[in-house]
Amino acid sequence: MQILVTDATGAVGRSVTRQLIAAGHTVSGIAQHPHDALDPRVDYVCASLRNPVLQELAGEADAVIHLAPVDTSAPGGVGITGLAHVANAAARAGARLLFVSQAAGRPELYRQAETLVSTGWAPSLVIRIAPPVGRQLDWMVCRTVATLLRSKVSARPIRVLHLDDLVRFLVLALNTDRNGVVDLATPDTTNVVTAWRLLRSVDPHLRTRRVRSWEQLIPEVDIAAVQEDWNFEFGWQATEAIVDTGRGLVGRRLHPAGATNGSGQLALPVEAPPRSVPSHGEPLGSAAPEGLEGEFDDRIDERFPVFSSASLAEALPGPLTPMTLDVQLSGLRAAGRAMGRVLALGGVVADEWERRAIAVFGHRPYIGVSANIVAAAQLRGWDAQAVARRALGEQPQVTELVDRNLRADRSARSRRWS
């Protein structure tokens, strides 16, 4: 199907578009601000919902997922007016509209929004979610954390919703023709005091100032429909979801627009960088002959052209399955991204390290030798020649390779500072 996602560059939008593409859908997105981590396969338009391009995008879509907040105090908030534009565009196009509503939000605002969607001409599904949690600390999760930490400690039961389960449910809902309203919340409960202790144990001095609270930390939700009619299997229980939120809090500070990296502890990577994105405005080359490029293949920056599979051949012998590539390589890339921040490489070297320190060609993983050589030259105690020999063996081209990469690095740095 062709799917249009509003606020496609938000945390949930980026996750949803990634999963929709993985499921075989064609995805377009609209948002007011771009984001580097948006999957490059999304047909993205940077525009407001008042722009006529919204109708053009909706006209090509089978379904529209509206993720842009109706709360104007949230980042990227479009208000009821923005929702009305989306509902009108979906109705005129005959597209199904999926709207994510906040059960914990202001009742008068979200009731109005739900009514607008439910009474519109477009077939629609309102997904009313419990307070969102998870390691991906966007503005919604930050509000949930702030609300919990400010709440009076008690044994009151509370249901939450991990953002992973929200994304999974949205993908599932697109494959049905169900309309109406469904409440989405964990099938079990934790309690306020347990959640408070788990979050405070991460950082006893975590500050919540400037971050708004939800109106209703414990809203009324009816989970019978999602369990009995939808048969949806949640991936996260309530307490586990709170624990995972704590993992995301390590090394981060709460912020109204979403958590930011703090000083001290290294923050856990929560999102892998997109692959095969040019960092210097020029197209990247393919390692495969024309027409034979694999679906997971990376593109090559000509400044960092050398890769080797020698050190990964035993641990990850190829060709690898799509699931292994997705799971293993995403984890390795996330770890490499965190290591790149620790090494403080800077500039184009840091960008190459984050994106292609480990690359995929022909369903096999490869180490980015060029990036490793340049990194070695910048770090005290590292030997660029030794790094090259370890990856490529005793070949006469090693010295030439090292010199060429170091010259490319110096040239890039001089352009950067000129």
d(CA 42, CA 106) in angstroms, rounded, equals 32
- Contacts of residue 330, Cβ cutoff 8 Å, sequence gap at least 6: 272
* The pLDDT value given to residue 285: 72
What distance in Å separates the CA atoms of residue 386 and residue 359, rounded to the nearest whole number? 21
Query: Quick one: pLDDT at residue 386?
Result: 75
Q: With H, G, I as helix, E, B as strand and everything else as coil, classify residue 138.
A: strand
Distance from the first to the final alpha carbon of the chain: 47
pLDDT of residue 407: 60
Residue-level pLDDT at 333: 77
- The reply to whether omega before 269 is within 30° of 0 (cis) is no
In contact, 57 and 67? CB cutoff 8 Å: no
> According to the model, what pLDDT value does residue 418 have?
41
What contacts 42, CB < 8 A, 6 or more positions away? Answer: 5, 8, 17, 21, 27, 28, 29
Residues near 357 by beta carbon (within 8 Å), at least 6 away in sequence: 333, 336, 340, 367, 368, 371, 372
Neighbours of 241 (CB within 10 A): 26
How many other C-beta atoms are found inside a 10 Å radius of the C-beta of residue 357?
22
Cβ pair 6, 16 in contact under 8 A: no
According to the model, what pLDDT value does residue 383 have? 73
Mean pLDDT per 10-residue section of the chain, whose length is 418 residues: 97 95 94 91 95 96 97 94 97 97 97 96 96 97 97 95 97 95 97 97 91 96 94 96 96 94 77 58 69 76 82 77 78 77 75 82 85 76 73 62 58 48
What pLDDT score does 411 carry?
A: 58
- pTM of the predicted model as reported, rounded to 2 decimal places: 0.79
Token readout for 186 is 């964990």
Q: Could you tell me what percentage of the chain is helix, strand and coil, using 3-state DSSP and rounding each to the nearest 5? A: 40, 15, 45
Count how many residues are written for the chain: 418
Please name the fold of domain 2-261.
Answer: Rossmann fold (3.40.50)
**Residue intervals in the chain for CATH 3.40.50.720:** 2-261
Pairing of strands 285-286, 299-300: antiparallel
Q: Are 140 and 70 in contact (CB under 8 A)?
A: no
pLDDT for 189 equals 97
The encoded tokens of residue 183 equal 């409440």
- Name 4's bridge partners: 28, 64
Residue 142 tokens, joined: 């930050």
Kindly state the greatest CA–CA separation across the chain. Answer: 73
The contacts found for 117-122 with CB under 8 angstroms, 24 or more apart, are: 117/66, 117/83, 117/87, 118/180, 118/181, 120/87, 120/88, 120/90, 120/91, 121/91, 122/64, 122/87, 122/90, 122/91, 122/94, 122/95, 122/96, 122/97
